[in-house]
Amino acid sequence: MTARRSPSPLQVLRTVGSAAGGLGLAAGLGAVAVVRRDKPLHAYGRVGTGTLTALGEGPASGVPLLDHPGRHRCTVRSSRAMSLAHHGPDVMGVALRIEGAADDGGPADLLLASTGTGALTRWLLTVHLHEAGGPLTTLLPQLGSRGAVWLRLDPAGRSAYDLSWSGTHDHWHRVGQLELDGPWGEDRPLRFAPVDRPLAGLRPPTWVRVLRRPAYQAAQDLTDPATRPTNRSHR
């Protein structure tokens, strides 16, 4: 029987720091949600459907959806982080639900936001004047068989995005295109769960799960009536 390796001091510090950051982020987002009486970020958006076409070209990523040619149906939501206006500077976001792309054959979720694209700047959010103002990435990495993986969408016209991936010290490799079926439609009450529903072949690092889960849960608890506790006669 192989002994389980103990986490390194750096991994422990990263996880503890992420836990503190996640709780702080949850508190901050919760306060915003209470004031706004809605989702704290990306509260309003537009929803459409489309097809993600993977080319199956370029260096292998270790992610089946990226490495093999195919067409995948998607639900797509475009939004602005602060949602204060339909125009003007803001952090842009695109959420994807890709049918049949999770390990269990169910849908997989991705969240992308406007960021830089360099080895360091991909960790930093950027502000654009409009939805098609520049690239969007997954911001935080996911882990695959070949190490850390970032995904990227680049606007390619009014209703399409080019899809790329990159490793930690890698160039971006274009591997497909997302094309919408038509104009954006009205917003719908969708909940995306990239931590719980990653692409097959990817998983969020422990520190990412610890950072994100409290914030997601707080936002949902404070804005979704179905999750709010009710008064009970006993505990």
Going from N- to C-terminal start, the domains of the chain cover: 42-222
**Single-letter amino acid, residue 154:** D
pLDDT in tens, 198-213: 999 999 998 888 776 6
- Is residue 73 scored above 60 in pLDDT? yes
pLDDT in tens, 24-56: 333 333 333 334 444 556 678 899 999 999 999
pTM of the predicted model as reported, rounded to 2 decimal places: 0.75
**Which CATH code for domain 42-222?**
2.40.180.10
- Is residue 197 scored above 50 in pLDDT? yes
Q: Are 43 and 90 in contact (CB under 8 A)?
A: no
The pLDDT-based confidence of 157 (bands split at 50, 70, 90) is confident
Q: What is the mean pLDDT of the segment spanning 179-193?
A: 92
